[in-house]
Amino acid sequence: MNGSTVYRQSGDWKLRGGPAGLHVFHRNTGLNVLIDEIFVPTALHARAPRQVSIALSNRCDLSCAHCYAPKFRGELRFDSVTQWLAELDAAGTLGVGFGGGEPTLHPDFMELCQYAAHETQLSVSFTTHGHHVDAEMADHLRGSIHFIRVSMDGVGLTYESIRRRSFAQLLVRLKDVGTISRFGVNVVVNEHTLPELDEVARVSADAGACELLLLPQMPLRSVLAASADTLQGLRRWVEGYKGPLKLCINESSAEGFPTCDPLVQEGGLRAYAHIDATGVLKPSSYADTGVQLGDGDVLLALAQLEHDLEENDK
């Protein structure tokens, strides 16, 4: 099979060559197929990360204690984001996830989603607290979004004590979310939310979610990391879960959990990168090391970041 055949693609299907073989991805269904019988020469490996998250804005109208979004002002320009998306798409990235802060507060949020869905072959997702997703926004986003992640830390009073928003109102918002695209629920796991995971999973499934992303709490000035007991309890819960939701966990917390990663050979910056709301490219949203992006220079910045990370490791 020659190079031009490896990269031929059309419509919502996208092909990506890498060390594990040929990765076939369908953005509407989220279907991933790895054809590992096909050897892809190194020169044809995708140069961009498989998945990129972009914090469109640091702004948020909630103030959750566990929030790790920076509290200084930062908001990306439409033109910069669209140039980066075009470059990433051409270099083999499969999906972009918009976040923040609260991405729906960015003044060009809907236009950016529409650009990404219709001018690129990227799968488009966003992470939201959900309280601004109404029928009007849903009408604008339908057809331009492939997946939505909604934060739900516990149910009822637990949720309300963390988010200071009505839980009943969130459930109403989930109805609009479900008219846009497939969606999942993110839950920050700590000693308060762990006992409510059964209920979070039940409510999420009833609302139409297909996935539950478990996020053990990270340490910040205002909160402690999820304790060893909490992580132990979470492992037990995962082992015992028999419901319909697909369970996922963030990579940094995955140790000790039964996970499946068919693309282990494609780690680091080939797997994932983050662009923060000031345009700094990083290996993750928590990382200190980063490279400031200009307009349309993502691949150069990736090479620089790879070099800087290698130097730091020496």
Residues that bind ligand SF4 (CB under 6 A): 60, 62-64, 67, 69, 100-102, 129, 151
Write down the least CB distance from residue 79 to ligand SF4, Å.
24
Q: Please say which residue, 218 or 238, places its beta carbon nearer to ligand SF4.
A: 218
**Residue 171: how many other CB atoms lie within 10 Å:** 15
Closest approach, Cβ 243 to ligand SF4, in A, equals 25
Backbone angles phi, psi at 205, to 5 degrees: -65, -40
The rounded distance, in Å, linking the Cα atoms of 229 and 217 is: 13
The least distance separating ligand SF4 from the CB of residue 150, rounded to whole angstroms, comes to: 10
Q: Provide the 10 A C-beta neighbour count for residue 51.
A: 18
Q: What is the closest distance, in whole angstroms, from the C-beta atom of residue 283 to ligand SF4 in the complex?
A: 20
Output 225-231 pairs: Cβ under 8 A, ≥24 positions apart. 226/189, 226/190, 226/191, 226/253, 227/191, 229/191, 230/189, 230/190, 230/191, 230/194, 231/256
Least distance (Å) between residue 282 CB and ligand SF4: 17
Q: Which residue is nearest to ligand SF4 (CB)?
A: 67
Long-range contacts of 5-12 (CB under 8 A, 24+ apart): 6/38, 6/40, 6/44, 7/44, 9/121, 12/121
Q: Toward ligand SF4, which CB reaches closer, 145 or 170? A: 170
Identity of the residue, 62 or 210, whose beta carbon is nearer to ligand SF4 in the bound complex: 62
Report how far residue 229's alpha carbon sits from residue 227's, in angstroms, rounded to the nearest whole number.
5
Q: Which is nearer to ligand SF4, 223 or 247 (CB)?
A: 223
- Of the pair 69, 203, the CB lying nearest ligand SF4 is at 69
